[in-house]
Amino acid sequence: MVSETQQWVNFGIFVAGGAAVTTLIIGDAIKRRWLRILTGTSASVAFCYAALWTLPRIDWLLGIVQFPLLLAFLTILLGVGAHVFKKKNKLRYGQVEVLVGMLSAVGIATATGQSVFAQSMSLAAAAYVVARGLNNWDEQLEEHGDKHGNRSISQQVRTMMFTDVENGERAAKRDSSLRDPAHNKRAQEKAGSLRSE
């Protein structure tokens, strides 16, 4: 049996991960960094508490398992919806895929009564979902970038978490100019001419 302290630690880890992903998904909709982080954290906490309150009350949902054809049909519809979502917005699809993988990993890791083999295989599947999500996310950024010129997940995370969106364009231009070898050479020449004077 899992202790109450361990349950709260798991809940805190889950909320923190959900808050980070929610903040990234919010993106440019909220301009201020602190408000974006606060909104992402609040949404994550609200979702977690809603899930904790709702899940025990929907026993009827488990009754769907008694109708395997209905379950198969719903699964196919979910797959078609995911395909359409991926075609329309691969970046957001990858971010949601990472979130789903995280939720699966937490659910599997905290489940009791499974054999070690079954739990290990399920965790490996959740890790694969996270990896595919990161791959979709990264592919979209490499191909098209985002509004701030970010071409990798790490750049996008830094921009989303640590840079105000209002200053994002200025920071993106500054970062691109720093990566530009011609700009660096001009800056070095200018600094050399100032030293010689």
Give domain status of residue 67, yes or no. Answer: no
* Residue 75 maps to a domain: no
CB 94 within 8 A of CB 136: yes
pLDDT number for residue 60:
59
Residue 149 forms part of a structural domain: yes
Is residue 77 in some structural domain?
Answer: no
- The CA distance from 27 to 33, in Å, is 10
How far apart, in whole angstroms, are the C-alpha atoms of residue 151 and residue 139?
A: 9
- Based on the structure, what is the number of domains in the chain? 1
| DSSP 8-state secondary structure symbol assigned to residue 148 | T
Q: Is residue 48 part of a domain?
A: yes
Q: What's residue 19's pLDDT?
A: 75
Residue that is written with structure tokens 């991926």 in the block: 86
Task: Give the pLDDT confidence score for residue 150 in this predicted structure.
Answer: 84
**Which residues constitute the domain of residue 172?**
4-57+89-196
CA 10 to chain CA centroid, Å, is 18
In a domain, 138, yes or no: yes
pLDDT at 69: 79
Q: Which amino acid is at 173?
A: K
CA distance 58 to 47: 16
User: Digits of tens for pLDDT over the chain (197 positions)?
Assistant: 557 777 677 777 777 777 777 776 776 677 777 787 788 788 878 877 777 776 666 655 656 666 777 777 888 888 898 899 899 889 889 988 998 898 888 888 887 788 999 999 999 999 999 999 999 999 999 998 888 788 888 888 887 777 655 444 444 455 554 455 555 565 556 555 555 55
158 occurs within a structural domain = yes
> Which residues lie closer than 8 Å to 31 by C-beta, 6 or more apart?
164, 165, 166
The pLDDT assigned to 138 comes to 92
Question: Is residue 98 a contact partner of residue 130, using CB atoms and an 8 Å limit?
Answer: yes
Residues in the chain: 197
Give the pLDDT of residue 179: 52
Helix, strand or coil for residue 31?
coil
Amino acid, res. 151: R
Q: Is residue 46 part of a domain?
A: yes
Specify the pLDDT at position 110.
Answer: 80
